[in-house]
């Protein structure tokens, strides 16, 4: 698979729409790759508790955010550093959503909040 120069849509950490939900938070680095993390055993209401069931994990910082934005990247060489499961998530998100879509995680669902290009 060729990585250099290959454009693709991927989920990146963003502050866009932070505050839409009272339980929003952003501790990651803007623009880093957003990955799915495994939820813990805290089964409180999704908007209460540690937040792992409503957040994405940053690829570099390993910190969390409740929002990610679908963006085009020119160099997908970062894929070499991911597990197959992580690659599957990144590719699926890029195919399912459009560029500019701000997405959120709600337990096992990933949904679009808004498209920043349409606001």
Mean pLDDT by 10 residues, the chain (119 residues): 68 96 95 89 76 92 96 88 93 94 93 89
Provide the pLDDT for residue 48. Answer: 80
Closest CA to 19 of 57, 69, 65: 65
- Give dist(CA 25, CA 21) in Å, integer: 9
Provide the pLDDT for residue 22. Answer: 93
Provide the pLDDT for residue 2. Answer: 42
Cα Dmax for the chain: 44
Encoded tokens for 115: 């498209």
Contact 100, 69 (CB under 8 A): yes
- Give dist(CA 118, CA 67) in Å, integer: 17
Provide the pLDDT for residue 5. Answer: 59
Provide the pLDDT for residue 4. Answer: 53
Provide the pLDDT for residue 1. Answer: 39
Tokens 């949904």 -> residue: 111
DSSP 105: E
């Amino acid at each position: 698979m060729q990585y250099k120069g290959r454009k693709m849509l991927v989920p990146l950490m963003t502050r866009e729409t932070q505050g839409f939900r009272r339980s929003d938070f952003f501790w990651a680095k803007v623009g880093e790759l957003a990955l799915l993390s495994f939820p813990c055993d805290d089964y409180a209401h999704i908007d209460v508790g540690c937040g792992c069931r409503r957040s994405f994990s940053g690829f570099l910082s390993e910190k969390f955010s409740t929002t990610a934005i679908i963006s085009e990247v020119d160099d997908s060489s970062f894929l070499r550093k991911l597990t197959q499961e992580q690659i599957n998530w990144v590719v699926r998100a890029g195919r399912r959503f459009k560029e500019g879509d701000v997405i959120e995680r709600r337990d096992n669902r990933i949904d679009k909040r808004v498209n920043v290009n349409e606001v």
